[in-house]
Amino acid sequence: MPGHILLVEDDNAIATVVSAALEDDGFVVTRTDSLVGRDRNLAGQHFNAMLTDVILTDGDGIDDLGGIRKAHPDMPIIILSAQNTLDTAVRATDTGAFEYFPKPFDLDDLVRAVHQAVGQQAGGQQAGARNTVEQAAENIGEGLPLVGRSQAMQGVFRMITRVLRNDLTVLILGESGTGKELVADAIHQLGHRKTGPFVAVNAAAIPGDLIESELFGHEKGAFTGAVTQAIGKFEQANGGTLFLDEIGDMPAEAQTRLLRALQSGRIRRVGGRQEIAVNVRIVAATNRDLKPMIAAGTFREDLFYRLNVVPIQLPPLRERADDIGALAKHFLRLAAHDGLPLRQLDNAAIALLERQPWRGNVRELQNTIYRLALMARDDLIDIETISSVLNEGMAPAGNSDGAGFDSALHGWLAVAGPVGGRLYQRALAAFEKPLFEFALQQTAGNQLRAAQLLGLNRNTLRKRLVDLDINPDQFMTDR
């Protein structure tokens, strides 16, 4: 039971293929290339659905969609956009559009969506009823720094828009440095809990025996060292979002208590009797592959199913090379904002960056771009500078660096003596302390830049500085 479709599109080639595909399926298509034409058509005729582009010669196709939905509440709207930013995806969803198709889209998918939209309308359902929020652009945090135009990132943006108006638990999966924390942040900032707190906990950065008190708080005297009562992250996040980073690194006992908290919506402070109701939205993330951990019994299966309500998979950067140019330019602007000279990259330079494997993903690209901005002699970063910075970052196993570490470690082991069961922790501390001090010296005590230099999550660094008793302020210089 195809119907009458209004297609608002100023790109003649796209308008032609879309209308041909719809007409093949029996739809009647009226085409227009402007907002004026759209409004004239809507005033005179009834349409079963409208497909609209965003950037039109006489204005923005999303801007007044709220008004159109009010005037034509039964007409599903499908947005086609070449402006593939998270911002557009969210604006499209916020207007209550039935579907959002970033260009280039698959024509069959589009035709299928039109059938579905028209079918739903015939079934009497309110089109777009799943997205009821009527405000658009002004609420969207300017410049949310989530860059990506690849198909893969469009899929991520779409998933993000689907969880903004509900409290479903989200599990963000992806290799280290792919932007998991940034996605968690975007879900909070753009979602309906944005006025509440966003609290992040990194399970990998907290010693196993402290994690429960970190999450749930403790009463005074609950254990040695608990000299005062402490409020845990769950309670701090009340009314907002709790981001559980590196969830795959959570010790077994804490997993059990976390599961109980998620099931009951209540927590108990360590050493406390009373159960406290908390209202938090959980966003978890991990760079581990949880399936084998479940099989090996190191990650609770029931906890996995609790968390994995809406999985969002962040693809590694090497699988979305077409994002590299936009990301590189974004980081050059950020670097300039952080006080480094404003540099440019030409196409040859970007093509070279696109060919790199980026094992450290977006974080590695960001660090490389910062180094390039620092090292380049001219405003335009040349290929030689890129090659030398890339080579300095790559230390194949067995080279002199590795050998240096090896012998230093053996030397350290020789004098460390027996360190009963805590060898790993002690070695790590012996290694981390001078490393972090070096990074802080280089950045004059700026923790954010030190974390960037190290390629570490800033929360991880902050936590480790506390653990290792390093005071970043002592590296500040008054230059």
Which residues lie near ligand ATP (CB under 6 A)?
145-148, 174, 176-182, 245, 287, 327, 330, 362-363, 366, 457
Yes or no: say if 353 and 365 are a contact pair by the CB < 8 Å rule: yes
The type of residue at 445 is G
Helices (H) and strands (E) in the chain, counts: 20, 16
Yes or no: say if 80 and 101 are a contact pair by the CB < 8 Å rule: yes
Q: Supply the DSSP string of 132-164, one letter for each residue.
A: -----GGGSPTT------SHHHHHHHHHHHHTT
CB of 383 to ligand ATP, least distance (A): 24
Which C-beta is closer to ligand ATP: that of 84 or that of 366? Answer: 366
Rounded alpha-carbon distances, angstroms, from residue 454 to 13, 248, 303, 394, 438: 48, 22, 32, 14, 10
CB of 349 to ligand ATP, least distance (A): 19
Q: Closest by alpha carbon to 313, among 133, 129, 135, 160?
A: 160
Which C-beta is closer to ligand ATP: that of 177 or that of 217? Answer: 177
- Continuous segment of H or E residues that includes residue 32: strand 28-32
Dihedral sign of CA atoms 348, 349, 350, 352 in order: positive
The one-character DSSP state at 271 is: T
Which C-beta is closer to ligand ATP: that of 146 or that of 242? Answer: 146
Which C-beta is closer to ligand ATP: that of 94 or that of 246? Answer: 246
CB of 343 to ligand ATP, least distance (A): 17
CB of 262 to ligand ATP, least distance (A): 21
CB of 409 to ligand ATP, least distance (A): 24
CB of 235 to ligand ATP, least distance (A): 24
Yes or no: say if 178 and 315 are a contact pair by the CB < 8 Å rule: yes
Which C-beta is closer to ligand ATP: that of 267 or that of 327? Answer: 327
**Cα radius of gyration (the chain):** 26
Residue nearest to ligand ATP (CB): 179
CB of 6 to ligand ATP, least distance (A): 34
Q: Closest by alpha carbon to 76, among 120, 135, 40, 131?
A: 120
Which C-beta is closer to ligand ATP: that of 53 or that of 364? Answer: 364
CB of 348 to ligand ATP, least distance (A): 23
Which C-beta is closer to ligand ATP: that of 201 or that of 327? Answer: 327
Which C-beta is closer to ligand ATP: that of 270 or that of 362? Answer: 362
Angstrom distance (rounded) from CA 334 to CA 188:
22
Residue pointed to by tokens 């592959």: 289
Angstrom distance (rounded) from CA 311 to CA 183:
12
CB of 32 to ligand ATP, least distance (A): 35
| Other C-beta atoms lying within 10 Å of the C-beta of residue 326 | 17
Which C-beta is closer to ligand ATP: that of 35 or that of 172? Answer: 172
CB of 331 to ligand ATP, least distance (A): 7
Those residues with Cβ within 8 angstroms of residue 29's Cβ, 6 or more apart along the chain or in another chain: 4, 5, 6, 7, 18, 19, 22, 23
3-class SS of residue 46: coil
CB of 153 to ligand ATP, least distance (A): 7
Helix axes 324-337, 347-354, angle to 10 degrees: 110
3-class SS of residue 282: strand
Which C-beta is closer to ligand ATP: that of 56 or that of 451? Answer: 451
In this structure, the chain runs to a length of 479
Which C-beta is closer to ligand ATP: that of 150 or that of 213? Answer: 150
Angstrom distance (rounded) from CA 283 to CA 181:
10
